[in-house]
Chains A and B, each alone.
Chain A
Amino acid sequence: MQISLFTVLILMVLTAVGFLVGRRRAYAVSSGHASRLHSLPSYYGYYIALWTGVPAFILLAIYGMFGNDAVNALAGAQMHRAGEPVHAQFEQALSDDEDIARLEAELATLENRRIYAREAIERDSELVPAAGEYPAQSPAERQQALSSEINRLAAEREARAEVLAGQVEAQTDDALARAGFVYSRLSDERRELMINDARAIAFGEGVASRETPEINALASAMRPFHEVLRSSMALAALALAIGGLAYARSRISSSFRARNRVEGAISVLLLLASVIAIATTIGIVLSLLFESVRFFSAINWRIDEFLLGTQWSPQIAIREGQVGQTGAFGAVPLFAGTALITVIAMLVAVPVGLFAAIYLSEYASTGVRGWAKPVLEILAGIPTVVYGFFALLTVGPLLRDALLLLGYENAVTQSALAAGLVMGVMIIPFVSSLADDVINAVPQSLRDGAYAMGATKSETVRQVIFPAALPGIVGAVLLAVSRAVGETMIVVMAAGQGANLTANPLESVTTITVQIVMLLTGDQEFDSPKTLSAFALGLVLFVLTLILNVIALRVVQRYREKYD
């Protein structure tokens, strides 16, 4: 455990004590006339409790966040120091070794030649062959050849150094020094692994993947640092708590405005909550933006090709040295697929949702409305993955069989139509619930006016209520569109993956969201244009839904102003 439960408990008790002390102190300074105090006595209690608890818990939080890293760094430094004598021996062995010297000389020569080749590439000139050393090569080929040779020699040097290190290790008797030497020669990833194993052994954090004398040495180096840091932090937190309590208590007088201070603390708390929400949003948008910039620089800033190209096959570009790497990132088929499915979904959701809303708000009796509205809203509570396999296992095959019966030979299970239909069903409650609110907001006086003119119910709905509610309904539909555009699970399961540029709803298409899923699932390298393109797609999606939402909210807002 990082922070002992005991410390936390004591702090909580102290905070509670602070509250009681504050209240009693308030009674005391008012000499029994609580009405003479500026604030109610409990506010003085809260004030002291805040001063007792907050600084101490902040200290503990900081320790919780950075305590482990501090212990690791301290223990690591100690290991380095212990390994220094052995490391000196190793350096000596390296400089004495003939093989190493030879390899390093060769490496230096090759590195010079590679630099020369690179400069030639940059100047866009031919290489001048030196003394028949190599046949006529283009600078690029030359650079490549040199690079692989350099890699080979470097590996050889590394292997030789490894052998020497083994020899030095074997000569060392001191276990701690040997462990320190091993520790200091590790790569960052391996060091991370070793630290994790050592922590597992030292503090029982998880299970160690292996146990070697070196890891044990690191673990025992960690323990004292950990103990000291932990107990000193606990003491410091207690001291802060008691200090805060004493300080706050000393400030209490009958004119002290404890209520306003507590109010201030509450507003800080609320501010923090909203800052977290806003900062997270900004963070997500920025990460999208930066990764998109990386992607666009990887395709040489051919943003036009990304937005207007009709060829989408990101997997081609993963192979190195491929000519025309950028040609495969034309996202138009994805945009078209998204649009196709969205249109189908809207064709289902808007009429059905709207009519359901009109029925519920204008025709249904209170009793029917009482149970029908919640039932409709249950539809909205079904997880989209359930809709997904409903589309894949029921609607898709049904459509295919029906089409085959009708003689359409190319019918497939995964089609834009199946995904769009089911997505439309999913969005019905969304549309109906929003439209219902909007229709209910149409003033009753308009209905009365129409009925009093002798209009029938449907005339009233068509000629008076619908036009009055239209701006709100448009807003609702736009919100539904942005929902459809961003919907993922149904299309992943039911729309297929092929990036076909087609307007035929019976073919399988793919959408922006499906491709993002495809690009980021499984093992991926996070620096290839293939993976990075997911972020650019995400950015497009974000901008699209943002625009839709802004328009929708503005439309709805304008409508509200009119009738309130």
Chain B
Amino acid sequence: MTDPQNTAAPAATVYHDQPSANPIKVETRSVSVRYGDTQALHDVSIRIPDRGVTAFIGPSGCGKSTFLRCINRMNDTIDSARVSGSVLIDGEEVNSRAVDPVVLRARVGMVFQKPNPFPKSIYDNVAYGPRIHGLATKREDLDAIVEASLRKAGLWAEVEGRLGMPGTALSGGQQQRLVIARAIAVNPEVILMDEPCSALDPIATARIEELIDELRENYCLIIVTHSMAQAARVSQMTAFFHLGHLVEYGPTEDMFTNPHDARTQDYITGRFG
């Protein structure tokens, strides 16, 4: 069966049947990105459901991180990047002039490849977002937000009582969970994760994956990963990118057992990439 999106996308993206019961949270239409003279992304159209994990897989340089950064307009911070096409969150255009990227980024949180806690205390790291967005007026409210965020990120038990410690003094896995807590603290709707486990050891990775699984009940999570196994473990939907094109998109199980495109098959069976 052919998805109606197929007609909107000139690139030959293969869309699987999407039986997801959840409503669509993020939708893009023909998003292209150029860095100066090189085109990094060609006409990507995709519909990402809410309350679930969508994984972007693909070889290095395939444009999956670039695409991720379109969703919270992080490409604005790169001088040479030019984004075209439209990105809709809850049906609202993100790239319009009316949208303040600063406000947008409070709705769309982001976690990076390398843990990047600010050179501040654990408390101040988590309180950073609520403070700049004025989410808490009283100290108690802020304390409550910090505690709730750390609990959701599964870090509370480990740092309780030493919130004044610098965030950079934690271990790599703890730092990554701190950064997730920081992102959660502003109560975003979408959380973008750019290879969140690539700098971590297997145990810390397992911890983060567990966390992602818990978070999907409340958030729309989009995760870029190099590890097919990770995509299979944590995601419900998977998108395969190759050379700046979205090649194939569908439910994870279907993608891994029944890939339609030859390139997808080659990639997930390890024949290239």
Q: How far is the CA of A366 from the CA of B251 in the complex (A)?
A: 43
B133 cross-chain contacts in A, Cβ below 8 A = 454
Is there an interface contact between B77 and A448, defined as CB atoms closer than 8 Å? yes
How large, as a class, is the contact surface on chain B? 20 to 34
Is there an interface contact between A452 and B119, defined as CB atoms closer than 8 Å? no
Q: How far is the CA of A412 from the CA of B185 in the complex (A)?
A: 60
Supposing A366-B79, A454-B102 touch, asked if A448 and B128 sit within 8 A by C-beta, the answer is no
Tell me the nearest residue of chain A to B179, going by C-beta: A449
Tell me the nearest residue of chain B to A366, going by C-beta: B79
Is there an interface contact between B129 and A445, defined as CB atoms closer than 8 Å? no
How large, as a class, is the contact surface on chain A? 20 to 34
Tell me the nearest residue of chain B to A450, going by C-beta: B118
B263 cross-chain contacts in A, Cβ below 8 A = none
Is there an interface contact between B132 and A449, defined as CB atoms closer than 8 Å? no
Q: How far is the CA of A459 from the CA of B131 in the complex (A)?
A: 11
Is there an interface contact between A365 and B79, defined as CB atoms closer than 8 Å? yes
Is there an interface contact between A447 and B77, defined as CB atoms closer than 8 Å? yes
Q: How far is the CA of A260 from the CA of B270 in the complex (A)?
A: 50
User: Which one of B101, B109, B132, B133 has the greatest number of beta carbons of chain A within 10 Å?
Assistant: B132
CB < 8 Å neighbour of B72 from A447, A452, A467? A452
A453 CB–B CB distance under 8 Å: yes
User: Which one of B114, B116, B133 has the greatest number of beta carbons of chain A within 10 Å?
Assistant: B116
- B3: min CB distance to chain A, Å: 31
B221 CB–A CB distance under 8 Å: no
Q: How far is the CA of A454 from the CA of B187 in the complex (A)?
A: 12
Supposing A443-B116, A445-B114, A446-B118 touch, asked if A452 and B109 sit within 8 A by C-beta, the answer is yes
Interface string of A64-85 (1 = CB under 8 A from B): 0000000000000000000000
Supposing A452-B105, A454-B103 touch, asked if A467 and B119 sit within 8 A by C-beta, the answer is yes
B156 CB–A CB distance under 8 Å: no
Supposing A453-B186, A454-B103 touch, asked if A448 and B119 sit within 8 A by C-beta, the answer is no
CB < 8 Å neighbour of A467 from B104, B114, B120? B120
- A461: min CB distance to chain B, Å: 13
Counted as pairs of residues, one from A and one from B, with CB atoms less than 8 Å apart, the total is 70
Q: How far is the CA of A343 from the CA of B153 in the complex (A)?
A: 48
- A388: min CB distance to chain B, Å: 41
B26 CB–A CB distance under 8 Å: no
Q: How far is the CA of A463 from the CA of B127 in the complex (A)?
A: 12
- A88: min CB distance to chain B, Å: 90
Interface string of A455-473 (1 = CB under 8 A from B): 1100100011001100000
Is there an interface contact between B132 and A451, defined as CB atoms closer than 8 Å? no
B101 cross-chain contacts in A, Cβ below 8 A = 454
B182 CB–A CB distance under 8 Å: yes
List A residues 430-450 near B (Cβ within 8 Å). Answer: 443, 445-450
- A363: min CB distance to chain B, Å: 11
Is there an interface contact between B116 and A454, defined as CB atoms closer than 8 Å? no
Q: How far is the CA of A366 from the CA of B80 in the complex (A)?
A: 10
B106 cross-chain contacts in A, Cβ below 8 A = 453-454
B41 CB–A CB distance under 8 Å: no
Q: How far is the CA of A197 from the CA of B77 in the complex (A)?
A: 77
Is there an interface contact between B132 and A455, defined as CB atoms closer than 8 Å? yes
Tell me the nearest residue of chain B to A457, going by C-beta: B77
B113 cross-chain contacts in A, Cβ below 8 A = 445
User: Which one of B72, B79, B128, B133 has the greatest number of beta carbons of chain A within 10 Å?
Assistant: B128
Q: How far is the CA of A447 from the CA of B103 in the complex (A)?
A: 17
Is there an interface contact between B77 and A459, defined as CB atoms closer than 8 Å? no
- A562: min CB distance to chain B, Å: 8
- A403: min CB distance to chain B, Å: 45
Is there an interface contact between B116 and A448, defined as CB atoms closer than 8 Å? yes
B183 CB–A CB distance under 8 Å: yes
User: Which one of B110, B113, B119, B183 has the greatest number of beta carbons of chain A within 10 Å?
Assistant: B119
User: Which one of A366, A445, A453 has the greatest number of beta carbons of chain B within 10 Å?
Assistant: A453
Is there an interface contact between B120 and A451, defined as CB atoms closer than 8 Å? no
- A449: min CB distance to chain B, Å: 4
Is there an interface contact between B112 and A451, defined as CB atoms closer than 8 Å? no
Is there an interface contact between A451 and B118, defined as CB atoms closer than 8 Å? no
Is there an interface contact between A464 and B118, defined as CB atoms closer than 8 Å? yes
List A residues 306-331 near B (Cβ within 8 Å). Answer: none
Is there an interface contact between A454 and B186, defined as CB atoms closer than 8 Å? yes
Q: How far is the CA of A449 from the CA of B133 in the complex (A)?
A: 15
Is there an interface contact between A451 and B77, defined as CB atoms closer than 8 Å? yes
Is there an interface contact between A453 and B132, defined as CB atoms closer than 8 Å? yes
B74 CB–A CB distance under 8 Å: yes
Is there an interface contact between A459 and B110, defined as CB atoms closer than 8 Å? no
Is there an interface contact between B183 and A453, defined as CB atoms closer than 8 Å? yes
B182 cross-chain contacts in A, Cβ below 8 A = 449, 453
Interface string of B116-145 (1 = CB under 8 A from A): 111110000000110011000000000000
Q: How far is the CA of A526 from the CA of B111 in the complex (A)?
A: 70
A446 cross-chain contacts in B, Cβ below 8 A = 116, 118-119
A365 cross-chain contacts in B, Cβ below 8 A = 79
Q: How far is the CA of A152 from the CA of B119 in the complex (A)?
A: 81
B132 cross-chain contacts in A, Cβ below 8 A = 453-455, 459, 463
- B153: min CB distance to chain A, Å: 15
Supposing A447-B77, A453-B183, A468-B119 touch, asked if A463 and B112 sit within 8 A by C-beta, the answer is no
Tell me the nearest residue of chain B to A446, going by C-beta: B116
Q: How far is the CA of A443 from the CA of B182 in the complex (A)?
A: 18
Q: How far is the CA of A241 from the CA of B102 in the complex (A)?
A: 78
Is there an interface contact between B186 and A451, defined as CB atoms closer than 8 Å? no
CB < 8 Å neighbour of B128 from A445, A447, A453? A453
- A422: min CB distance to chain B, Å: 36
Is there an interface contact between A453 and B112, defined as CB atoms closer than 8 Å? no
Q: How far is the CA of A64 from the CA of B186 in the complex (A)?
A: 80
Interface string of B167-195 (1 = CB under 8 A from A): 01000000000010011001000000000
Q: How far is the CA of A449 from the CA of B103 in the complex (A)?
A: 15
Q: How far is the CA of A446 from the CA of B167 in the complex (A)?
A: 12
- A315: min CB distance to chain B, Å: 54
Supposing A366-B79, A454-B186, A463-B128 touch, asked if A449 and B116 sit within 8 A by C-beta, the answer is yes
Tell me the nearest residue of chain A to B80, going by C-beta: A366
Q: How far is the CA of A467 from the CA of B166 in the complex (A)?
A: 12
- Extra contacts, 4 of them, besides A450-B128, A453-B109, A455-B132 (Cβ < 8 A), are A449-B117, A451-B74, A452-B110, A454-B103
- What are 26 pairs between A and B in contact, CB < 8 Å? A443-B114, A445-B113, A445-B114, A446-B118, A446-B119, A448-B77, A448-B112, A449-B116, A449-B117, A449-B118, A450-B128, A452-B74, A452-B105, A452-B109, A453-B109, A453-B128, A453-B182, A453-B183, A454-B101, A454-B102, A454-B132, A454-B186, A455-B128, A463-B132, A464-B118, A468-B119
Q: Which 8 pairs of residues, A with B, have the shortest CB-CB distance?
A: A452-B110, A454-B105, A445-B116, A454-B106, A449-B116, A468-B119, A453-B129, A454-B102
